[in-house]
Structure 1
Amino acid sequence: MKYFIIAGERSGDLHGSNLITAIKKADSEAQIQGWGGDYMTTAGATILKHYKDLAFMGFFEVIQNLSKILGFFRLCKNQIEEFQPDAIVLIDYSGFNMRIAKWAKPQGYKLFYYISPKVWAWNQRRALKLKQTIDRLFVIFPFEVDFFKNYDYEVEFVGNPLFDAIAAFRPNPDFLNENNLGEKKIIALLPGSRKQEVEQMLKLMVATKKQFPDYQYVIAGVGNLSKEFYERFLTDDIRLVFDQAYDLLSHSEAAMVTSGTATLETALFGVPQVVCYKMSLITYSIASMVVKIEYISLVNLIAQKEVVKELLQGELTTENIAKEIKKVLNNSIERKKQIADYQKVREILGSTGASAKTGKRIVEILNNSNLVNN
């Protein structure tokens, strides 16, 4: 069968690659096209648009680039119509994917959504839109099942795909030597993957370095940004590694992390962290009116309490970042408590196999649908 998969961010590309592997295992003749990145390409998909071209963040930034984004919608629709897939599989990336779903449903396409839009966080009425347009929704947090029950929408909890990625990870024994990292202990900087946020976060993160002379800072660079972009932040004691975040976390004492998937990845590696996030004033003003959740980091949302410190907007200063990092160093009480709470988060999330389950179920549902139609 033919599958069109849309992932608009780096994390979606990673999870999409594992999903593709599972689909190909269940459907050996699968033809897969879509939007994504290098991971999905390696897994065997033909990528028609790379996610690095889609990196717009915040309400104001989206409005500024509206004509370009509308052009992306037209391009994607044309590519789907040309390919005529048996199924469209949407991965996270809600603003774009929910709009594609609204268009695709009346056209008669079978629609699957893997990693639900965070409708429980803001504009909860979007849950009804998902129910109306998506044939099967696969969720990765246990609390999402109960949330959608409130809308009489039965969804499938498949576990969290980060367990797949981490389970497949094999540490590089030469990581430190290959990256010329000395003997000093490491504080990791994970500033995100979008150019705007990386620039903003790194300015604040690296400014704390003078308060930690006994540590080296290592930035987790991403391949969609150039080495030249990062160079202004580098010194002898602030280094850069590209696309090696898991190896970096494996050697880190603590981390400064931009809110997003990386907060949960850092927790699953057992690295104490401080969560950092700042957006434009206009975006923040709008978000503060519509967001319905107490926390923004996945770690705290899953635990339903403050496991990691979140520094947002005005609270995100170099002084506060340094103060919170100091609290989780040197075998402190705060460090031990954060690591213990991480274990509880792991227990809530379950185990490996989310992408494998989802890929298998998509093929099963399509096969059963074809049997009924025939």
Structure 2
Amino acid sequence: MKNCLIIAGEKSGEEHALSFIKTINSLNQECAFWGVGGDELEREGMELTYHLKDFSSWGISEVIGKIPFYLNALKNIEQLVKEKKCKVAILIDFQDFNLRLAKRLKKQGVNVLYYVAPQAWVWKSYRAEVIEKCVHSLFTIIPFEKKWFEQRGVTRVKQVAHPLWLNYKDQLSDLPPKRTYSEVQKKLRVLLLPGSRNFEVASLLPDFIKATKEISQQRDIEVGLVVSSNVKSELFDPYLADCDFIWDNEQLPEALKWADCSMAASGTVTLATALFCVPTVVVYKSSLLNVYIFYTFLSYDGHVSLANIVHDEEIFPELIQERASVYNIKTELMKFLESEQSYNSIIEKVSKTRSLISGGDFDAGEYMAKVIEESYEL
């Protein structure tokens, strides 16, 4: 029986997989999917070897603590590949684990489709050489990446539309008009997006709530919150009473249509806010060890949030570590509303996001289905 391994070790990886798995299923109905994913992939028929709740981690310090788990998972997945006689694997982001796995799979003759290129342009550029040796095809979703990898010897690079665009393009096609500046001035709708990891919500949500309370002393506001199913509910519970509207992560488009502006953890969600034209303050906090490693060993000095990386410009303010204070969060958010001109200017900038990530006519799902079919014909 044809089968395909998928590794989606984080929530964003699962969202990426959802952008193509239905197409593959429709073209390759006899193929069984298994591996690492979440509830939504399981609903699509994937057999979960590991749930992403147990698999994901963030930052060097947290990864170090889970090294024994990851080593065991590598060994277990490699054994299952042999038992299932798996010939194709789709590895999504999660670069430290997935590139190690790609090397092992290559030795077994597995065709590796690496979806969402690892951010080797941030650090470890030598990974381009590893990709060329071990990966059948590399898929890039950020405009400049395809050329970057090709210049470093990667020959099978496919530029694809960003998965967020594919997931949300139907909702984006009939977006209601943005509320006017005068409407926003009368009552401001602030959306809180504290992340999809426990440590993010624990460190950011209290400050987000404090910032909204300070804003409410100056103007009439409504507060919305998106809660993630991957996060312990007790981290949200103390703050639910401070919010007027609450959505789960599957209702994110609805929440973004409602919002005038947002406070968000750095991550894929910042690109979603840009797609839905929601001005956003991006906030990032990590452990002191992670920060030390970042500034000591990385030469990258570019933008942190995905929205700014895609635009190659700081369209959203980034508050990192010591700058991520309640005062700064509130101040940066209110800058969007300093004048009608400033408000319209940021809306105009983010409205260009769609054209930057909508890609060409290449269909990743169709391509993957073809690779799966051809791999089992050999």
TM-score by length of 2: 0.89
Measured in 1, the distance between the counterparts of 2:127 and 2:146 equals 15
Matches within 5 A, 1:231-310: 231-237=237-243, 240-243=246-249, 244-288=251-295, 289-310=297-318
Which letter maps to 2:228? V
Matches within 5 A, 1:348-363: 348-350=356-358, 357-363=363-369
Contact 1:189-1:256 within 8 A present in 2 as well: yes
Deviates more, 1:143-152 or 1:327-336: 327-336
Which letter maps to 2:368? I
Q: CA RMSD in A?
A: 2.3
User: How high is the sequence identity, in percent, across the aligned residues?
Assistant: 30
Contact 1:33-1:45 within 8 A present in 2 as well: yes
Matches within 5 A, 1:3-22: 3-22=4-23
Query: Structure 1 residues 169 and 51 mapped into 2: Cα distance closer, same or farther (>3 Å)?
Result: farther
Query: Structure 1 residues 290 and 279 mapped into 2: Cα distance closer, same or farther (>3 Å)?
Result: same
Superposition deviation, residue 63 in structure 1? 1.2
Measured in 2, the distance between the counterparts of 1:285 and 1:330 equals 36
Superposition deviation, residue 307 in structure 1? 0.9
Which letter maps to 2:166? D
Post-superposition Cα deviations, 1:294-326, rounded to whole Å, max 9, x if no partner, equal 101111111111111111111111110000111
State whether structure 2 residue 213 is matched by structure 1 residue 203.
no
Contact 1:263-1:297 within 8 A present in 2 as well: yes
Structure 1 gap segments, 5+ residues each = 174-182
Measured in 2, the distance between the counterparts of 1:237 and 1:141 equals 34
Query: Structure 1 residues 367 and 290 mapped into 2: Cα distance closer, same or farther (>3 Å)?
Result: same
Measured in 1, the distance between the counterparts of 2:310 and 2:87 equals 34
Contact 1:163-1:352 within 8 A present in 2 as well: no
Which letter maps to 1:190? L
Look up the SS of the partner of 2:91 in the other structure: strand
User: Which of 329, 332, 346 pairs up with 2:354?
Assistant: 346
Measured in 1, the distance between the counterparts of 2:9 and 2:238 equals 28
Query: Structure 1 residues 93 and 232 mapped into 2: Cα distance closer, same or farther (>3 Å)?
Result: same
Matches within 5 A, 1:1-374: 1-154=2-155, 155-169=157-171, 185-213=188-216, 214-237=220-243, 240-243=246-249, 244-288=251-295, 289-329=297-337, 332-350=340-358, 357-368=363-374, 373=378
Superposition deviation, residue 293 in structure 1? 4.1
Post-superposition Cα deviations, 1:196-224, rounded to whole Å, max 9, x if no partner, equal 11111112211112222211222210112
Which letter maps to 1:3? C
Measured in 2, the distance between the counterparts of 1:49 and 1:169 equals 31
Which letter maps to 2:159? F
Query: Structure 1 residues 245 and 353 mapped into 2: Cα distance closer, same or farther (>3 Å)?
Result: farther
Measured in 1, the distance between the counterparts of 2:161 and 2:265 equals 23
Look up the SS of the partner of 1:123 in the other structure: coil
Measured in 2, the distance between the counterparts of 1:363 and 1:235 equals 47
Query: Structure 1 residues 236 and 295 mapped into 2: Cα distance closer, same or farther (>3 Å)?
Result: closer
Deviates more, 1:57-66 or 1:226-235: 226-235
Measured in 2, the distance between the counterparts of 1:284 and 1:268 equals 29
Measured in 1, the distance between the counterparts of 2:92 and 2:308 equals 22
Measured in 2, the distance between the counterparts of 1:232 and 1:71 equals 36
Measured in 2, the distance between the counterparts of 1:197 and 1:189 equals 12
Measured in 2, the distance between the counterparts of 1:258 and 1:95 equals 22
Measured in 2, the distance between the counterparts of 1:71 and 1:190 equals 33
Contact 1:253-1:329 within 8 A present in 2 as well: no
Which letter maps to 1:233? Y
TM-score by length of 1: 0.90
Structure 2 gap segments, 5+ residues each = 177-185
Look up the SS of the partner of 1:234 in the other structure: helix
Contact 1:128-1:151 within 8 A present in 2 as well: yes
Q: How many residues are treated as equivalent by the alignment?
A: 361
Contact 2:160-2:359 within 8 A present in 1 as well: no
Contact 1:92-1:115 within 8 A present in 2 as well: yes
